[in-house]
Amino acid sequence: MQIITEKEEKEHLAIIQSRITAMMNAGRELANKRAADLLEQKAYVRDNRDEKAILHQSIVQTAGSGEAALAKTRQLGRLLQTPYFGRIDFKATGQTEEQPIYIGVCTLKDYDTGVPLIYDWRSPVSSMFYDFETGEASYEAPIGNVAGEISLKRQYRIKNGQLEFMIDTAAPVFDELLQQELSVSSDEKMKNIVATIQQDQHAIIRDETSQILVIQGVAGSGKTSIALHRIAFLLYRHRDTLTSKDILIISPNKVFADYISQVLPELGEENVPETSMGLLVDELLERKYVFQRLFEQVTMMLENTDDAFTKRVNYKSGFEFLRQLNEYVVWLNNHLFKPTTITVGRFVIPAAVVMEKYTACHRLPLLKRGPEMAAALAQYLFYKHRYEADTKDKTVLKRAVAAMFGNANIFRLYKEFFKWTGQPTMFKMAAAKVLEYLDAFGLAYLKICLEGVTVHRKVKHLLIDEMQDYSPVQYAMIAKIFPCKITLLGDIHQSLNPGGKIDLDSLRKIFPQSQQVTLNKSYRSTMEILRLAQQIIHNPALVPMERHGQPPVFFRAVDERQELVHIQQLITDFTQQRRCKSMAVICKTETVAAALMETLMELPAAVQLLTDASHRFTDGVVLISAQLSKGLEFDQVIVPFATAANYHTAIEKSMLYIACTRAMHALHITAAGPLPAYLENIPP
């Protein structure tokens, strides 16, 4: 039967739902049966203890089969709510009839015949939904390229099992549905975008050839969403060789990790392990050092006007720091070791022989050569003098060799690096026994170069979000420990350190095999909000999505007291209206956010302060620092204290840009004092 009209589609949907319900019932029955079997097997083992070991395997299998049936039932439960979101009618060349292909979050096959009723959005045939309009189309199947024609392309909004609407579209960019999706209130956490993935986004999700993929995308261009869909895609395509445990995400903080935690389960995949640069470097330094966190570095740059600190951060964030460290490693390789003669009892080992052994160990990292050399010198004594070195002699050899390396210690060598470069003031402890943030990475990189490292072979794909916040030395460290595929994503205009930001050229030097792609269309904010953001940091590449809303509202208070009353009122209005789900008051620093929370005495109970120590993202109203708000989004944003004095330097402007681009629909800017000049006269 041809399914064309809405009535026919509704009938088709009901048929699919009845199949899903039947499968869910079968799944539940199987799970119940397995539960009963399990009880029986356990009772048998109780009565026949001697057979316990034999039956163990069978018990594990029964339990596993029951759990799998339950998991499948849960997945079907989700599918019942929204079985599919798209359809293409495709006729391959040579075929007589077109076939309707319904596309959903996962595959559903007819229980009896095995015929697919719904195709997974990641399947080869589904790719045409994202890549083609009606007319000629093709896709890469396992058997090769399949060409043909799409005669119909349809989109559905099915929510809670009901077909809300359907539209036929000819364009590959589904503007109408996309507009609707973007104009609704934000969900509590990040959601999947399978129904409206755009063509350029789709190309990135499906890229399987790049060893290192660098995605530079403007604010709100969908980078994080795409990265998560890319993980889901790779897990689907390589399901025999890749599991979620083989992937690692480096994310900026726990709040962000929680914010994105819903997307992969929505796509039917398990969440992947997550870590941070700080944890990685701590592991590399064997937890022997205490160091500042990135959060502290940024806070210091925003709160103190210590030029020397900023200079140190800028230097260590730049490519020159890495270049000089590499040069220093070469210099150490050539100059650190100073051979001398060694006397062991009545035997003398000439310096030339010691040097020969040093050269023979050149494949080992510099500081790993000592023990190997000592062993080689003991052998030398045996072959040359037929003298077998005892434990005491071996200790003499080891000590003598260590002295020839100047009894080097990584931390001392790292400190000496700054004298070697002629810039001793570039190193300073943050506090007694506390390293500055970037020194932890310089030190770890030097350690890797001089002592070697155990690489993370288990990780097959590494994903780094907010790539602009890491420096060349951090990437050089990553390149050494993760010899796997890497996806990097970020926006150089949202840097936490504009003075020393990473650029795409530096990334190309560190990862010569990288592919770089750019995303210029911004989906999150209305055109009015983006217009204001462009005044703060102009990005000529940014293309706003054609979506309008109320212009940003400025409130110029006569004094701070009036400003606070106004902020209080905005929050109260928001909580009373309940039209939108989320609002953020984004402050320059956490200190300001915490002080504001204290000052606004009459806040509704639901208002929460999110700090660097928070683990959960919460909806409702949050008070948050600009730094922590990175990657998040809110229906409404208030930026308080937006005076020229507060948002003057490059890093302050960067924070203001981040804060404003978090807003989807409404932005309020308040100030009790002159606004920054760049916020005056926003073009209409």
Ligand X SMILES: Nc1ncnc2c1ncn2[C@@H]1O[C@H](COP(=O)(O)OP(=O)(O)OP(=O)(O)O)[C@@H](O)[C@H]1O
Nearest CA-CA partner of 398 in 422, 370, 376, 418: 370
Neighbours of 234 (CB within 10 A): 23
How many whole angstroms separate alpha carbon 624 and alpha carbon 683?
29
Neighbours of 22 (CB within 10 A): 12
Among 258, 469, 563, 633, binds ligand X (CB under 6 A): 633
- Supply the minimum distance, in Å, between the C-beta of residue 305 and ligand X: 28
Q: Tally the residues of the chain.
A: 684
263: left (phi over 0), alpha (psi -120 to 50) or beta: alpha
Q: Is 223 annotated as a binding residue?
A: yes
Neighbours of 326 (CB within 10 A): 15
Q: Is 220 annotated as a binding residue?
A: yes
Closer to ligand X by CB, 197 or 301: give it.
Answer: 197
Strand partners, 453: none
Among 224, 314, 629, 646, binds ligand X (CB under 6 A): 224
417: Cβ contacts below 8 Å, ≥ 6 apart: 324, 325, 328, 442, 446
Which DSSP helix (H) or strand (E) runs through 552? none
DSSP calls for 278-298: HHHHHHHTTT--EE--HHHHH
- Supply the minimum distance, in Å, between the C-beta of residue 88 and ligand X: 18
Secondary structure string (H, E, C) spanning 17-55: HHHHHHHHHHHHHHHHHHHHHHHHHHHHHHHCHHHHHHH
Q: Is 66 annotated as a binding residue?
A: no
Residue 230 interacting with ligand X (CB under 6 A): no
Residue 86 interacting with ligand X (CB under 6 A): no
Query: 256 by DSSP, 3-state: which?
Result: helix
CA 90 centroid distance within chain? 36
Among 73, 107, 126, 225, binds ligand X (CB under 6 A): 225
Residue of this chain nearest to ligand X (CB atom): 222
Among 661, 663, 665, 671, binds ligand X (CB under 6 A): 661
Residue 491 interacting with ligand X (CB under 6 A): yes
- Supply the minimum distance, in Å, between the C-beta of residue 128 and ligand X: 17
- Supply the minimum distance, in Å, between the C-beta of residue 653 and ligand X: 16
- How many residues belong to the site for ligand X (CB under 6 A)? 23
Closer to ligand X by CB, 596 or 656: give it.
Answer: 656
- Say which amino acid occupies 631: G
Query: 271 by DSSP, 3-state: which?
Result: coil
- Supply the minimum distance, in Å, between the C-beta of residue 551 and ligand X: 20
Q: Is 341 annotated as a binding residue?
A: no
Per-residue contact flags (x/-) with ligand X for residues 519 to 558, judged by CB under 6 A: ----xx----------------------------------
Question: In 570-626, at which residue ranges do the beta strands (DSSP E only) sit?
Answer: 582-587, 608-609, 620-625
Distances (CA, A) of 418 to 162, 425, 471, 510: 67, 8, 18, 22
Among 127, 201, 262, 324, binds ligand X (CB under 6 A): 201
Residue 219 interacting with ligand X (CB under 6 A): yes
Q: Is 268 annotated as a binding residue?
A: no
Q: Is 218 annotated as a binding residue?
A: yes
Residue 502 interacting with ligand X (CB under 6 A): no
Residue 197 interacting with ligand X (CB under 6 A): yes
Closer to ligand X by CB, 216 or 310: give it.
Answer: 216
Q: 172 to 191, contacts with ligand X by CB under 6 A?
A: 178, 181-182
Selected range binding ligand X among 123-131, 219-227, 330-338, 498-506, rule: CB under 6 A: 219-227
Nearest CA-CA partner of 665 in 531, 525, 535: 525
Selected range binding ligand X among 204-212, 222-230, 444-452, 505-513, rule: CB under 6 A: 222-230
Residue 258 interacting with ligand X (CB under 6 A): no
Selected range binding ligand X among 221-229, 287-295, 497-505, 673-681, rule: CB under 6 A: 221-229
Annotated binding site for ATP: 217-224
For binding to ligand X (CB under 6 A), which residues are involved?
178, 181-182, 193, 196-198, 201, 217, 219-225, 491, 494, 523-524, 631, 633, 661
